[in-house]
Amino acid sequence: ALLGTALPQRAWAKSAFSTDETPTDFADITTYNNFYEFGTGKDEPAIKAKTLITSPWSVTVDGACEKPGTYTLEDILKPHALEERIYRMRCVEGWSMVIPWQGFPLGQLLKRFQPTSKAKFVRFETLADPKQMPELKQNVLDWPYTEGLRMDEAMHPLTLLATGLYNKPLLNQNGAPLRLVVPWKYGFKSIKSIVRISFVEQQPVSSWEKANAREYGFYSNVNPTVDHPRWAQYNERRIGEFSKRKTLMFNGYEAQVASLYSGMDLRKNY
Amino acid sequence: MQLPEPLFSRCIKPLVFALALLPLVLMGFGVWQDRLGANPIEAVTRSSGDWALRFLLLTLALSSLRRLIGWTQGIRLRRMLGLFAFFYASIHLLLYLWLDQFFDWQGIWRDILKRPFITVGMLAFLMLLPLAITSPKAMLRRLGKRWKTLHTLIYPLSILAVLHFWWMKDAKSDTSEPLIYALILAALLGERLYQRFKA
């Protein structure tokens, strides 16, 4: 309910960053989820994530910045105007969706904490509370779920912190109350239910990298030319469609983000 | 323990046949009623694979049951259940070839070479194929002793089938389900080893 009031009741300005592709059905976006804290089946989070308590919520900010501290969700959201971003989402498992997010650019928030020159990367953590997330005892990953971005990736205008989708506050299974959306990277980079943001000097090790470094790299940019040993990455099944589509370089955001990686060998930095 | 005779061949056998078709009926119903969630193609592909594996293990269980509890009648269901394993494995393979790859043979070949879980899955199916072809009684008579040797392929192919499932799942660190199949298979194969060394 708290979040409901945080979402202004108005039509969203159409963002230049939005795709005009048809959004995936709300029912599909909210019942087909990878959120291992609530089970490894894609239908499980929608059923089991009801135990997640999203209010009150706070986010701890630490590391190389001038304004560390623990901030309430209200503190975090207050100064930011929410906007709609319709983004493609490509999962490393070979499926994709189009999701109308509401949120604000991550960079705007990070600036408020005044990162120092030592801040080269941003590290994120998902809540890991066994009382709210009974599946944590399964130890399929090393909790808490951890992700990271290079500072310039985090400050990129496409990088979003989302609080809602389809003009509704985020449902728990989609990473309520605050989640990252990095549309040119495989979906698992877009960490859910964030409780910690740390400015760090060294490249953080993400949960999937830790679990299987050969298959999941730090960058995990969508790249149809770099195959995954488990799934072909040159094409994808858009949820709701019968035929497969060709996967686009950087998930179709090449024009906006390719310069971030100029001079890098994307086969090595997968 | 045995069931009274006309009951077994007249009722139990057709009942098992009907039950074995039930997963297919449910899949068809699910597709028709759009009840398979956001990714129905993935759902039917996984379900057909699950059932192929389950029928494979059931087939293996029948001779263990004969040895352990003396239920000899069960052996008369073995051919049927084995053929159902082949039936669901064929559906599983066809769904992959058609709805995942759209019969792009180059892509399929690349997949077989590149992705170990596809490699072992394909190998398992190739080993299952001659068992299905030689399942009629006439083939058994024609092949004589060689039939029995040929049909020991079920052991390595079952291991490959479980491995296929395992490697598919462990990409996302999610091996709890394949572990159940692996344990059942280990028990069934272990029982055979035990019988061999006991003798």
CA distance A202 to B113: 37
Strands (E), chain A: 58-63, 69-72, 83-90, 95-105, 121-126, 146-150, 160-165, 168-169, 179-181, 194-200, 235-238, 245-246
Whether A266 is covered by a domain: the verdict is no
- Backbone torsions φ then ψ of A191, nearest 5 degrees: -65, 140
Specify the amino acid at residue B53. Answer: L
Mean pLDDT, rounded, for A241-248: 96
CA distance A168 to A174: 11
Tens-place pLDDT, residues B29-71: 999 999 999 999 999 999 999 999 999 999 999 999 999 999 8
Residues of the binding site of A for Mo-molybdopterin: 33, 36-37, 91, 126, 174, 179, 190-192
Nearest by CB to B38, from A32, A40, A231: name it.
A32
Specify the amino acid at residue A243. Answer: S
Specify the amino acid at residue A62. Answer: D
First and final C-alpha spacing in chain B: 23
A231 touches chain B (CB under 8 A): yes
Whether A22 is covered by a domain: the verdict is yes
Q: Please name which of A255, A166, A266, A259 lies closest in space to residue A222, comparing C-alpha atoms.
A: A266
CB contact under 8 A, A215 and B117: no
Q: Please name which of A129, A162, A138, A133 lies closest in space to residue A49, comparing C-alpha atoms.
A: A133
- Backbone torsions φ then ψ of A197, nearest 5 degrees: -125, 120
Tens-place pLDDT, residues B150-159: 999 999 999 9
Q: Which of A5-9, A133-137, B35-39 has the lowest mean pLDDT?
A: A5-9
Whether A38 is covered by a domain: the verdict is yes
C-beta neighbour count of B141 within 10 angstroms? 9
pLDDT of A7 above 70: no
Confidence of residue B2 (pLDDT cuts 50, 70, 90): confident
The pLDDT of residue A9 is: 46
Whether A161 is covered by a domain: the verdict is yes
Whether A270 is covered by a domain: the verdict is no
pLDDT of A203 above 60: yes
Mean pLDDT, rounded, for A206-224: 94
CB within 8 Å of chain B, chain A residues 47-86: none
This prediction has a pTM of 0.90
CA distance A35 to A44: 8
How many domains are there within chain A? 1
The pLDDT of residue A4 is: 47
- In angstroms, the separation between the Cα of residue A182 and the nearest Cα of chain B is 20
Tens-place pLDDT, residues A163-173: 999 999 999 99
Contact criterion met (CB below 8 Å) for A206 and A190: no
Rounded to 10 deg, the angle between the B154-170 and B116-133 helix axes is 150
CB contact under 8 A, B42 and A215: no
Confidence of residue A38 (pLDDT cuts 50, 70, 90): very high
Please compute Rg for chain B using Cα positions: 18
Q: Is B71 exposed, middle or buried (0-12, 13-18, 19+ CB in 10 A)?
A: middle
The pLDDT of residue A232 is: 82
Tens-place pLDDT, residues A136-169: 998 889 999 999 999 999 999 999 999 999 999 9
CA distance A178 to A61: 14
Whether A268 is covered by a domain: the verdict is no
CATH number of the domain within which A32 lies: 3.90.420.10
Mean pLDDT, rounded, for B107-124: 95
Tell me if residue A122 falls in helix, strand or coil: strand
CB contact under 8 A, B102 and A43: no
The pLDDT of residue B19 is: 97
Tell me if residue B109 falls in helix, strand or coil: helix
The pLDDT of residue A2 is: 46
The pLDDT of residue B174 is: 83
Q: Across-strand partners of A89? A: A97
**Residues of A in Cβ contact (< 8 Å) with B46:** none
Which residue stretches of B70-175 are H helix? Answer: 78-95, 105-114, 116-133, 137-143, 145-151, 154-170
Q: Which of A138-142, A216-220, B85-89, B140-144 has the lowest mean pLDDT?
A: A138-142
**Residues of B in Cβ contact (< 8 Å) with A239:** 38-39
Specify the amino acid at residue A264. Answer: M
Which residue stretches of A163-253 are H helix? Answer: 207-211
Rounded to two decimals, the ipTM of the complex is 0.86
- The boundaries of the domain holding residue A97 are 2-261
Q: Please name which of A61, A97, A90, A91 lies closest in space to residue A76, comparing C-alpha atoms.
A: A61
Question: What percent of chain B shows pLDDT beyond 90?
Answer: 85
